[in-house]
Structure 1
């Protein structure tokens, strides 16, 4: 039982960052109908920005997270304005090829700038874990979980209760009708891609100090983000959130009770089984983002 509780705690903490990845991608995919192959690289970008601010510049740890997320938002907005806005109305094949090209370009730029050597990020929290009975958890992971939950709640509040959020939901429901009612579609698309990119960068910035950072770190993160969106259902923020936690639980239990070598396979196996029963995902919503 103690081992099960430990695995459950580890999964909860990891699930928060998975949910950030899933929410960012479901917003972009749901509103813009863009398959964002750069999502994993934005995750890696956030981790590298965290490394730069903390290890090279010596900035405050919390401030570094804020700066990494802000730079992720800026990079996402730049990608949308420079690349995607020019492709508005283009066929999906063209858009996918451009995004794959952007993914390769960003990854190779990271390798050129930072080299292929894995880098670690120091944490200001005590190295000794918090121990409660037979369960232990590092203070860094607790901080990561708290910030992830805060960002999830803030994103949900933005979508539900702000003017921008209403415009995003209207665009998701019917782009043409929203435009006729005065919604500036270009602005909504830029804000959506920037927000999704910022959430991906936040996940990278939070997990950077937990793991190590290297140029291809975003590849698996991108696959997991797509898996979470498919699992939770397109256009559902609660679905992406719950899907992130489900994937984390399956990975943790698979690694703990079967083999660590099957950690990633267990989550994807669950997704296959669920989609065989419910092809639209667990929480698909056709009518709105939220």
Structure 2
């Protein structure tokens, strides 16, 4: 039982960042119909920016995390404005090829800039963990969970309550009708890709200090983000959030009770099960809304 409680605590912390990845990707896929192969690289970008601001410039850790997220938003807006907007109206195959090229370019630029050696981010948290009965949790991981939940909540409120969120949901339902009603669809696409990219960068900047920062860390993150979207159902923020926690629990319990070597395989096993029994995803909303 003690071991189970520890696994649950670890899964909760990991699930928050997985949820951020999934929400960002489901927004982009649902609204823009773009398979975003750069999502993992934006995750790695957030981690490297946190490392650079803390270790390179000596910034406050919390300011560095916030700045990494802001830069993720800006990079996402640039990708949409300079690359994806030029591909508007192109077939999905052409767009996918361009996004794959962008992914490869971003990863190789990161390799040139940062090198292939793993890096660690210095944090201000004490090394002594918080011990609650049989469960031991580092203060850094507690911060990661709280920050992730806060970002998930802010994103949900943005989509559900703000005028931007209403415009995004209208564009998701019917782009042409939304345009006729006066919504600037190009601006919504830019905002959507920027928001999704910012969430990916947020996940990277939060998880980077927990583990290590490498130029290939985005590869598995992207695969897990796609797994979460498939599980949750395209267009469902709640589904992406819950799917992130489901994946984290599957990984943590699978590695703890089956084998750590199968940890990353758990997401693909879940995809197969979901596609077999509920191909539209666990929380698919019949294509009616983002939210």
Are 2:71 and 1:71 aligned? yes
Matched with 2:186 is 186
Deviations, residues 223-276 of structure 1 (Å, cap 9, x unaligned): 000000000000000000000000000000011001111111123212211220
Structure 1 moving runs of 4+ over 2 Å: none
| Secondary structure class of the residue paired with 1:269 | helix
Residue 241 (structure 2) pairs with residue 253 (structure 1): no
Count of aligned residue pairs for this structure pair: 290
Instruction: Tell me which residue corresponds to 1:119.
Output: 119
CA distance in 1, matches of 2:39, 2:222: 6
Offset from partner CA, 1:104-132 (integer Å, 9 cap, x none)? 00000000000000000011000011011
**2:196 alignment partner, SS class:** helix
- Map of 1:169 onto structure 2: 169
1:74 counterpart SS class: helix
Offset of residue 282 of structure 1: 0.1
Q: SS of the counterpart of 1:53?
A: helix
**Counterpart residue number, 2:48:** 48
RMSD: 0.5
Q: Distance in 1 between matches of 2:103 and 2:228?
A: 20
2:281 match: secondary structure: coil
Q: Name the structure 2 match of 1:103.
A: 103
Gaps of 5+ in 2: none
For 1:287, the equivalent position in structure 2 comes to 288
Structure 2 counterpart of 1:241: 241
Aligned equivalents of 1:87 and 1:182: distance in 2? 22
Cross-structure match for 1:271? 271
2:157 matched to which residue of 1?
157
Q: Does 1:225 align with 2:225?
A: yes
Please list the CA deviations of residues 7-66 of structure 1 after superposition, one character each: whole Å capped at 9, or x if unmatched.
Answer: 011000000000000000000000000000000000000000000000110101110011
In 2, distance between residues paired with 1:96 and 1:11?
32
- Secondary structure at 1:246 match in 2: helix
Question: Is the CA contact (8 Å cut-off) linking 2:231 and 2:270 kept in structure 1?
Answer: no
Inter-partner Cα distance in structure 1 for 2:48 and 2:157: 28
Q: 1:1-80 to 2 correspondence within 5 Å?
A: 1-80=1-80
Structure 1 unaligned regions, length at least 5: none
Q: Distance in 2 between matches of 1:77 and 1:156?
A: 20
